Structure 1
Amino acid sequence: MNDAAPAIESLSRDLHAHPETSFREFTSAAKISAFLAAAGFTLAEPLTGSPTAFVAVAGSGPLVVGICVEYDALPEIGHACGHNLITGASLAAATSLVPFVDELGITLKVIGTPAEEHGGGKVYLLEQGIFDDVALAMMVHPVSEGLSVNPAGTSSQVVGRYRVTFHGKASHAAAAPHLGINAADAAVVSQVAIGLLRQQLPSDHRVALFVAEAGVVTNIIPDTAVVNYECRAFTREQFDSLQARVRRCFDAGALATGATVDYVDVGPVYEALVQDDVLSSHWCSAMEFLGRDVSRSPGLSGGSTDMGNVSQLVPSIHPWVGIPGATSPIHSAGFADTANTAGAYTTMFESALGMAWTIADVAQDPSDRQEFLTRAHDRCPAPLVAAQKGL
Structure 2
Amino acid sequence: MTYTRGVHRTVTEAVRTWSGQLVALSHGLHDEPETALQEHRAAARVAGLLESAGFTVTRGVADLPTALVATRGTGDLVIGFCAEYDALPGIGHACGHNVNGAAAVGAALALAAAADELGLTVKLIGTPAEEDYGGKVHLLDAGVFDDVAAAMMVHAAPDDSIGASSLAIGSWDVTFRGKPSHAALAPWEGVNALDAMTVAHTALGLLRQQLPPGVIVHGIVTDGGQAVNVIPARTSARCEVRALDTEQLAAAWLRVRACFEAGALATGAELELRCHGRDFADLRQDPDMTSAYAAALGELGRTATSRQGETMASTDMGNVSQLIPTIHPTIGYDTGGARQHTPEFTAYGKSPGADRAVLDGATALALTGADLAMSPDRRTRLLDGVRRRQRSRPVADERSGGRSASLRPGG
TM-score under structure 2 normalisation?
A: 0.89
Aligned to 2:161: 149
Aligned to 1:18: 32
Q: Which of 300, 318, 325 is 1:308 aligned to?
A: 318
Describe the superposition over 1:143-202 as per-residue Cα deviations: whole angstroms up to 9, x where unpaired: 123xx5222xx2111111111111212222222111211110000111111112222333
Q: Does 1:258 align with 2:285?
A: no
Q: Determine the C-alpha separation between the residues in 2 that align with 1:75 and 1:54.
A: 22
Describe the superposition over 1:324-363 as per-residue Cα deviations: whole angstroms up to 9, x where unpaired: 3541010001110112100111122111111011100010
Contact 1:204 1:301 in 2 (8 A): no
Q: Determine the C-alpha separation between the residues in 2 that align with 1:318 and 1:8.
A: 20
**Cα distance 1:223–1:157, how it changes in 2: closer, same or farther (>3 A)?**
same
Contact 1:2 1:96 in 2 (8 A): no
SS of the aligned residue for 1:324 comes to coil
Q: Once the two structures are aligned, what percentage of the paired residues are identical?
A: 44
Q: Which of 215, 235, 239 is 1:229 aligned to?
A: 239
Q: Determine the C-alpha separation between the residues in 2 that align with 1:211 and 1:149.
A: 35
Shift in Å at residue 302 of structure 1? 4.0
Contact 1:189 1:252 in 2 (8 A): yes
TM-score under structure 1 normalisation?
A: 0.93
Aligned to 1:175: 185
Q: Which of 337, 342, 347 is 1:337 aligned to?
A: 347
Contact 2:68 2:126 in 1 (8 A): yes
Shift in Å at residue 242 of structure 1? 1.5
Q: Which of 91, 99, 108 is 1:85 aligned to?
A: 99
Contact 2:165 2:311 in 1 (8 A): no
SS of the aligned residue for 2:100 comes to helix
**Cα distance 1:330–1:55, how it changes in 2: closer, same or farther (>3 A)?**
same
Unmatched segments (≥5 aa) in structure 2: 1-14, 394-411
Contact 1:26 1:52 in 2 (8 A): yes
Aligned to 1:117: 131
Q: Determine the C-alpha separation between the residues in 1 that align with 2:231 and 2:35.
A: 35
**Cα distance 1:175–1:382, how it changes in 2: closer, same or farther (>3 A)?**
closer
Q: Does 1:129 align with 2:143?
A: yes
**Cα distance 1:161–1:382, how it changes in 2: closer, same or farther (>3 A)?**
closer
Aligned to 2:119: 105
Q: Determine the C-alpha separation between the residues in 1 that align with 2:362 and 2:212.
A: 36
Contact 1:162 1:230 in 2 (8 A): yes
Shift in Å at residue 300 of structure 1? 6.0
Q: Which of 338, 344, 363 is 1:353 aligned to?
A: 363
Q: Determine the C-alpha separation between the residues in 2 that align with 1:357 and 1:117.
A: 28
Aligned to 1:380: 390
Describe the superposition over 1:2-56 as per-residue Cα deviations: whole angstroms up to 9, x where unpaired: 2111111011111101101110000110111000000110112542421101111
Contact 1:149 1:287 in 2 (8 A): no
SS of the aligned residue for 2:363 comes to helix
Residues matched between the structures, number? 379
SS of the aligned residue for 2:302 comes to coil
Contact 1:275 1:317 in 2 (8 A): yes
Contact 2:173 2:275 in 1 (8 A): yes
Describe the superposition over 1:108-163 as per-residue Cα deviations: whole angstroms up to 9, x where unpaired: 00010011110111111112211011111100001123xx5222xx2111111111
CA root-mean-square deviation? 1.6
Q: Determine the C-alpha separation between the residues in 1 that align with 2:334 and 2:371.
A: 27
Describe the superposition over 1:270-324 as per-residue Cα deviations: whole angstroms up to 9, x where unpaired: 1111101111110011122333334532476541111111111111110122213
Amino acid at match of 2:162: N
Q: Determine the C-alpha separation between the residues in 2 that align with 1:261 and 1:196.
A: 20
Q: Determine the C-alpha separation between the residues in 2 that align with 1:142 and 1:46.
A: 26
Contact 1:204 1:302 in 2 (8 A): no
Q: Determine the C-alpha separation between the residues in 2 that align with 1:273 and 1:189.
A: 34
Q: Determine the C-alpha separation between the residues in 2 that align with 1:12 and 1:39.
A: 17
Task: Provide runs of 4+ in structure 1 moved above 3 Å.
Answer: 298-302
Q: Which of 82, 94, 110 is 1:96 aligned to?
A: 110
Contact 1:157 1:232 in 2 (8 A): yes
Q: Determine the C-alpha separation between the residues in 1 that align with 2:188 and 2:27.
A: 59
